[in-house]
Amino acid sequence: MGMNGLQTTNVFGGTVDINNPFGPQVVCTTGMGGACATGYIPTETESLIHLEQQLTSNKINIEYVAANLEAGARRAIAKGLQPSAFNSASWHLWGVQSDDEIERARWNSCGANWTLDHISNALDAMEITTTWNLNMEPQYATSKSKFNCP
């Protein structure tokens, strides 16, 4: 995930930006040496149709979530917290991270716990090996007992 917005991998294996459907669009002609021009401004309806296509794409949807989780990790660092799966998930779900933010928001953090409970399933499905485990998440254990999460 790059610093300049959301990115994904195209069919050729290259990293490309996920298009902002509300901004100027690149229009290319077909055929040999198809020329491209930037600046076409779509109508709101065209933008919403394009956004719907992005949001219903599993691959791009995963990229949106990954970007938000990354933003959570960056925010944790900026606030002097140790970035973790828990505080990135709590940022993604509710916009809170630290124990005091969770307290002030009167937020039940079981949703973040549920997310972490299912990370191993996602990693297995994607055939990803990692040394990460729930024992590395002190906020997980604290909130699980405090809020009596299942």
Average pLDDT over residues 106-132: 83
Condensed to tens digits (0 to 9), the pLDDT of residues 65-102 reads: 888 899 999 999 999 999 999 999 889 888 998 888 88
**Domain-embedded: residue 133:** yes
**Domain-embedded: residue 129:** yes
**Domain-embedded: residue 71:** no
**Domain-embedded: residue 115:** yes
51 lies in the same domain as 93: no
**Domain-embedded: residue 70:** no
Of the segments 60-69, 72-81, 114-123, which one has the largest average pLDDT value?
72-81
3-class DSSP state of 11: coil
88 lies in the same domain as 50: no
- Taking the C-alpha atoms of residue 27 and residue 34, their distance in angstroms, rounded to an integer, is 10
Domain range spanning residue 41? 7-55
For the chain, percent of residues with pLDDT exceeding 70: 89
Provide the number of structural domains found in the chain: 2
Give pTM, 2 decimals. Answer: 0.59
- Taking the C-alpha atoms of residue 139 and residue 141, their distance in angstroms, rounded to an integer, is 6
Side chain identity, residue 7: Q
**Domain-embedded: residue 76:** no
